[in-house]
Amino acid sequence: RLAVGAGGTEGRPSPRLRELLGLRPGGTVGFQGLLATLPAGAADALEYDVRRLREHGAPFSRTIELAPSHRLVEVIGTVLRDGRGRRLGEALWFRDISERQAASDRAQAQLSALLTEHDRLRETVELLSFPVWRRDPDLTRPGATRATLSSSARRKGRPARCASSGHRPSAPRPGRWHDGRR
């Protein structure tokens, strides 16, 4: 976590913040100097957030993309108080979230690929001409192919159209095989 004072006075940014923003090592930096290192739209938005923080004590969190490095930085603004609750000033915390965001993007892409593969596999299994189903621990069938439903309906002496009408065949009684044998 990285911090710089935002109470109108100059602050000493941490070495990591200086590196992220491209500031020269050593010395202090005023809030306007810090804003000058940010892209124009991000600087305006951050200045607005800090004004609301100073005037109304409204904390904020904003994500900013740094122009030259394309790094993502989360800026968190908060009011600093002493043990008695008196206001001491404001602080801005800068945190590099580039890796976290990249990991989140990768996980989202993997989830999307898995869901696509799941749908493709389900469609492929549904096209099989022989019965396929799965059972829950209580022996109910949460899913079965059309061939399973059609076969089960014929086996019980009911017309095959009952499967296409949305009726599900009943689950076998415990202690019996799917074909009725013990």
Predicted local distance difference test score (pLDDT) of residue 153: 56
Tell me which residues of the chain have a pLDDT lower than 70. 1-11, 141-182
pLDDT, mean over the chain: 75
Q: What is the pTM of this model?
A: 0.53
pLDDT tens-digit map of 27-63: 777 788 888 888 889 999 999 999 999 899 999 999 9
Please give the pLDDT value at position 3. 46
pLDDT at 128: 73
pLDDT, residue 6, reads 46
Three-state SS string across the chain, please? CEEEECCCCCECCCHHHHHHHCCCCCCCECHHHHHCCCCHHHHHHHHHHHHHHHHHCCCEEEEEECCCCCCEEEEEEEEEECCCCCEEEEEEEEEECHHHHHHHHHHHHHHHHHHHHHHHHHHHHHCCCCCCEECCCCCCCCEECHHHHHHHHHHCCCCCHHHHCCCCCCCCCCCCCCCCCC
pLDDT of 94 reads 86
pLDDT value, residue 52 = 94
